[in-house]
Amino acid sequence: MSAHASDKFVYHEPGLQHQFDDMKQQEESVSIGMWMFLVQEIMFFGGLFTAYLVFRSRYPMAFAAGSNHLDAFWGGLNTLVLIVSSLTMALTVYYAQKSNRSMQVIMIVLTMIFGAAFLGVKAIEYTAKYNDGLIPVAGLNKKVKEDPGAHHEKAKPCWEVEHGAAAAEHHVVNPRGEFLWTDCSLVKLAKDEAFLTDAEKIGYFSKDASGADVIDINKFRDKVKIFYYIYFVMTGLHALHMIVGLLLMSWLLWTAWKGNYHAEYYMPVEMSGLYWHFVDIVWIFLFPLLYLLGRHFHH
């Protein structure tokens, strides 16, 4: 057989793509590409975190009030769910390295179940915000028409409203589905203790007929609305990344079921794991910033 004819039988390592010389070059290229993608994702979320920190430093009471109405139980549950999903994803990579197809499939399925559970909890939280009138876009909240036969409590000054209670809990009529907020008790507390920021002294108060500074619930509501804008943008984009992760896991499940990954070739599993861990880490930062900071003011 001629040398030319034998070229057809050159050995290629399993999983090696035609544009690469060997597996080492392919793995380095894929790894660099994934890390470059994650770096730009960090820059993207970093801008959102910066916006959060800037506004929180200016209006800590408004952000604390908004944060106090979030359900820390659901947020904590989702944190636990994602931490466990990171474990199952890491085990997926481990079993791929061990050429164990069955355990790969099981771990991917568990990871997807935890991811779906996370999205389910977010749906519960978003539904609660819809019912309480806390979506900061007019028309997207639950519309409540006036019922002549219903009993409506007389409106209290905002600083006497029970802290953490949503306006919807006080039977506020909301025919246009607008953002509702009737609680400024933290502002009253902060004013009495004299620890409002300069921005808050301007941002929360208006002059009454005598020229004295009084709490303006409309101004305060606008600052709380900023918190909920940031909350929905950050958690919504995170949920979108989780959906992309589940689609990625679906593809990984199919290819793992076909036995594509083994000790000699598991790079797609490892890179998918990097993306999944990144999404989990973002939530680890979101949970304390959105759900926990400022709760001590209430106590």
- The model carries a pTM of 0.84
DSSP-derived 3-state class of residue 206: strand
Q: Please determine, for residue 133, whether its predicted confidence score (pLDDT) is greater than 70.
A: yes
Among candidate residues 45, 50, 55, the one with its CA nearest the CA of residue 226: 55
What value does the mean pLDDT of the chain take?
Answer: 83
> Residues 41-52: what's their mean pLDDT?
93
Q: Residue 63, SS3?
A: helix
The whole-angstrom separation of Cα 275 and Cα 4 is 44
Distance in angstroms (rounded) separating the CA atoms of residues 56 and 27: 42
Q: Which domains does the chain have, with CATH numbers?
A: 37-297 (1.20.120.80)
Please report the pLDDT score of residue 237 as a whole number.
Answer: 96
Query: What's the pLDDT tens digit per position in 260-286?
Result: 888 888 888 998 999 999 999 999 999
CB contact set of 94 (below 8 Å; sequence gap of 6+):
none
Q: Quick one: how far is CA 280 from the chain centroid?
A: 9
- pLDDT (0 to 100) of residue 12: 54
Residue 96's pLDDT is 92
Which pLDDT tens digit goes with each residue over 91-124? 999 999 999 999 999 999 999 999 999 999 999 9
pLDDT, tens digit, 9 for 90 and up, residues 198-238: 888 888 888 777 777 788 888 889 999 999 999 999 999 99
Contact 277, 232 (CB under 8 A): no
**Residue spans of beta strands (DSSP E) within the chain:** 205-207, 213-215
